[in-house]
Chain A
Amino acid sequence: MVTITINGRAIAVEEGTTILKAAEDVGIPIPHLCYLEGINEIGACRMCVVEVEGKDRLVPACNNAVEDGMVVHTNSPRVREARRTNLLLILSQHDTSCTTCIRSGNCELQTMAADLNVHYQPYELRPERSRVDLSTPIIREAGKCIKCMRCVQVCDKIQTMNIWDLVGTGSRTTVNSRGAHSLADTDCTFCGQCVTHCPVGALTARNDTQKVMEYLADPEITTVVQVAPAVRAAWAEEFGLPKGTTAIGKMVAGLKILGFDYVFDTNFSADLTIMEEGSEFIHRFTHREDYSWPMFTSCCPGWVRFLKGQFPAYTDNLSTAKSPQQMFGAVAKSYFAEKIGVDPHKMRVVSIMPCSAKKAECTYEPFRDACGDPDVDVVLTTREMARIFKADRILPDKLPDWEFDSPLGTGTGAAVIFGATGGVMDAALRSAYYLVTGKNPDADAFTPVRGNKPWKEAVFEIPGAGKVRVAVVSSLGATRKLMEALDRGDAEYDFVEVMACPGGCAGGGGQPIHEGAELASDRGSLLWELDANMPLRFSHENPDVLALYKEYLEKPLGEKSHHLLHTDHHAWSMPNQL
C-alpha cells in the first residue's frame, strides 16, 4: 500500500494502481475519453491529465501508477485549461453534426463537451473526409473518429482479428482497415464489438430502418418480424426501464403498433434448430468415422465468418443446420406463406437481432431456399428497433402486454437461452439426451456449460451413446485459442458451441451501448431466469415445432428439412478465400 493525496484527501491505495482508478475509488472521477479498462490504457486523449506536485508536466492518470507520497490535483487551473484545450482540439477534428448522428444522446464526446461547458470553438474545424461504404454491416465515418484506438484494441485484444489499424503517418494518421482498401475486402466477421466500444458515432451498424418503414408503408406487402432471444434481455435499456425488465409483451405490442402484420419469435426457430442440429449431432456421433471432429454450432454468423476466414480447413465441421434466423425466414416464406395463402414474393421477413453480422448473413447467396427471394429481407439491431419505436413515440411503459402471433411465435426455455453463452449447447444436450434415450434429462443437468467464462469444457454421459466431450467458447480471442489447441492436438471435443461476442448474443454487437459497462453477463442471467420459469424447457416439446414437422417437414434431417433448414457452408465465400 502507498499513501497519496488527491485533491487534499490522503488515501492509501494498492501499489501499482493507476491514478485514475485510485481517484475514482474515493469518488473523484477524472474525465476520460479513450480509456477502456484493461484494454486501452494508452493516454491518447489526454483528457485525464492531472497535476502531480513536483512534476513540471501534467500527467495522464489512466496509465501512470500512484507513487508513495504523490500529491495529485485533478482540477487545478492548469488541469482545467489543459483538459478544455485538448477537448477543443479533439472537437476541431470531429464532424459535429450531432443532430443527424445516431449516437446523439449516447456519445462520450458530446457529454464531455456539455460537461466542460464548451460553447465557442476557437479552432478552425477540420474533420477528416468520410468516405462511407454502405455495402458492409459496419460503417465507419472517418470525420467522427476521435482516434481513441478502442476499436483497434478491442479487435486485437478481445477478438484477435486485427481488422482495424492505424494507417498513414504524421498528422494524417487515422484508423482504417488493415492491409486492405476497404472493410469489405477484409476478413472482418462483422461482430460489431468495435461499434459497441466506440465512444462516438464513428463506427455504427448500418442503419436499415428506412427499408423496414418502406415495407410497412406498402399495402401489397405482408410483413413478418422475428425477434431474437437476446433482444428481450436488452431492449428495455434503451427506454430506461428498470434493470432486469424483459417486457416481452410490450415489445410485441410495440411491433404490432408499428404495423407489422405478424410478430413472431426467433425462439420458435431456435427450437427448430435444436431438432435439426441435435439430430445431426446424434447422427454424426453414431457414424463417427464419416465425419471430422468436433462438430461446431453454426448459429453465430460472426463465428462462421471467423471459421471460414481463419480456419477454412474446418468448414465441414460446422453443423449444416442454418442459424435460427435463416431457418425462420425459410419456414416463413414456405410453410407459413402457404398456410395463410400469401404469395411469398409479396412477403417481407424482418429480423430484430442483437447482432450486426446477421445483416451480412441474410444476404448470402444460398439463403434463398423458400421461394428464390432472400429468406430474410432486412435485419435490424436491438438499437434500431428502439429507434423506430422512438420515431413513432411508442413508449414501452404505456404499452399493453401482447402475445406473439401463432404459430411461429412459440418457444421453449431451451430456445431463449440461445442468447447467452452455453445456451445452445445446453439446449442441444437436453434434446440429444431425449433423442437417444427417449427420456428427458433434468433440464438443469448441464449447468457446467453455463456462466461467463470465455472457454468452458465438460463431459456428459448420455446413456446408450456414451461420453460426450463438449466445449463452449465466447469471444473470438478465446475461439482462436481453442482452434489453435485443436490444431495442435492439445484439445479434443465432440461438440463445440462458439459465439463471436463475449458472453454470447447478450453481449452482441447490435445491443444497446453503455459507456464503461459490459452487460453481457447481466443480460445472460435474465435469459437463464426466463428459461427456469418457462413451462416448457425442451425444444422437442415445442408444440408448434412438432406441428410443423407433422404438417410439412415430416422429420428432422428429412428431405424437406434438408432443403429448407440446412445449408452448404461452401456455397459462399469470404473476401480473401481462394
Chain B
Amino acid sequence: EYEEKTGRAHRPLSPKQNVRKNLDFEPLSTTALILEDRPANLPAKPAEEAQKHRQQYEEMVVQAKKRELKEAQKRKKQLEERCKLEDSIGNAVLTWNNEILPNWETMCCSRKVRELWWQGIPPSVRGKVWSLAIGNELNITHELYDICLARAKEKWRSLSTGGAEVECEDAGFSAADREASLELIKLDISRTFPNLCIFQQGGPYHDTLHSILGAYTCYRPDVGYVQGMSFIAAVLILNLDTADAFIAFSNLLNKPCQMAFFRVDHGLMLTYFAAFEVFFEENLPKLFAHFKKNNLTPDIYLIDWIFTLYSKSLPLDLACRVWDVFCRDGEEFLFRTALGILKLFEDILTKMDFIHIAQFLTKLPEDLPSEEFFTSIAAIQMQSRNKKWAQILAALQKDNREMEKGSPSLKR
C-alpha cells in the first residue's frame, strides 16, 4: 500500500518509474548497464566490433534478467512460506485459545495436544501454557510476591543508605554474602540478553527483572541468587506479567533438577550427569566413546545448558521452543535436548579433540537450523533397556545414598 502511494507521488516526476511499476520485479542491473557509442571526439567503432559488443551486451542483459527473475521467484516463495507459517500460527492460536486452554485438565495430555505442543506454542499463548504446565505447587499468590518485593526494596534501601554496615557487625558473613548477592543481581541484569536492549538500565524490563530476582532472594534466602537465574527470569518476563512470571520462576526453580543445580548440590548434579551418560551411550555410542577417550565429562557443557535452560546458548526462538517441550515433558527433555545437540553435530564432534569440543559446545553456532535441530532431538530415545529417565535417575540416586551410608572406605 505504502509503495503504491509513493509510486503515485513520484509519477509526475519520473515517467520511467511509471513503466517500471508495472513489472513484477525491478531489473536493477539491466537498467544500470547501458551500451553507449564511443564519445564523438573519438573515431567510431568498426561495424564488426560494434556488432560484437551489442551481442555481448544483449547476452549480459539476458543473464541478468534471468538471475533477477530467479531471485524474484525465490522471494515470492519465501513470502508464500511466511504467509503459510503465519496462517498455521494463526490457526494454532485459535486451537490453543478456544479448545485447549478452556479444557486444560482434560486435554493437556491428549495425543493431539502433545503433537501440537511439539510444533512450538504460538508466542501469544506461550506464557499461559507455560504457567499452566509449570503449575503453582508452592501456592504463591500475587500478594506474597508483593510482600517479598517490598522486603527486597527495604533491603536495597538500607544498603544504599549504609545501614548494612551496622547490620554486618552481628550478622557477619551472611550479611556480606547477601549484599554481594544484591550487588551481583544489579550487575547481571545489565548482562542479560544485552543485544535485546530491554533489560539494561533504562530499558523497559530492567526494573521488572530486578524486582523478580530481588523478591526471589527474599522468598528463598536459602537458595539466593545464582548466576544463570537472570536468564530464566528474563525469558519468563518476555512471556508473562510480572507477578505471574515470579510465580512461574519460583515454581520452576523448585523442581528437583533445578533445585539440585541452583543449590549447587555437587553430588546430586553428578547423579544427573551419570543418568545423562546412560542415555548418551545408548543413543550415540560412537560419540560417547570418543568423549570418554578424550576425558570430556558432561559437566563441561551441561552446566551452562541446564543452569540457563538453554536460553544463553541457543537462539532465543529455539530456546523458547525447547522450553515449550520442557514444560510438557519435564527435566528429561533438558537432557534429551542436550543429546539432540550432540547428535546434530556428531560428525564434526567426532573429529575434534578435547578443547575444541569444549569450545564448540560452550559456544554453539548461531545459525542452528531449527527443523533439523528438532528432528535430531526427536530421534533421541529416552529409554534404556526398557527403563525410563526417572527410573534410571532414581536407581542412581539410591546407589549414591547407599554408598554414603556405607563405610567411609566405600565412598568415591
Asked if A and B are interacting partners, one says no
**Residues of chain B whose beta carbon lies under 8 Å from any beta carbon of chain A:** none
Q: Interface of A with B (CB < 8 Å)?
A: none
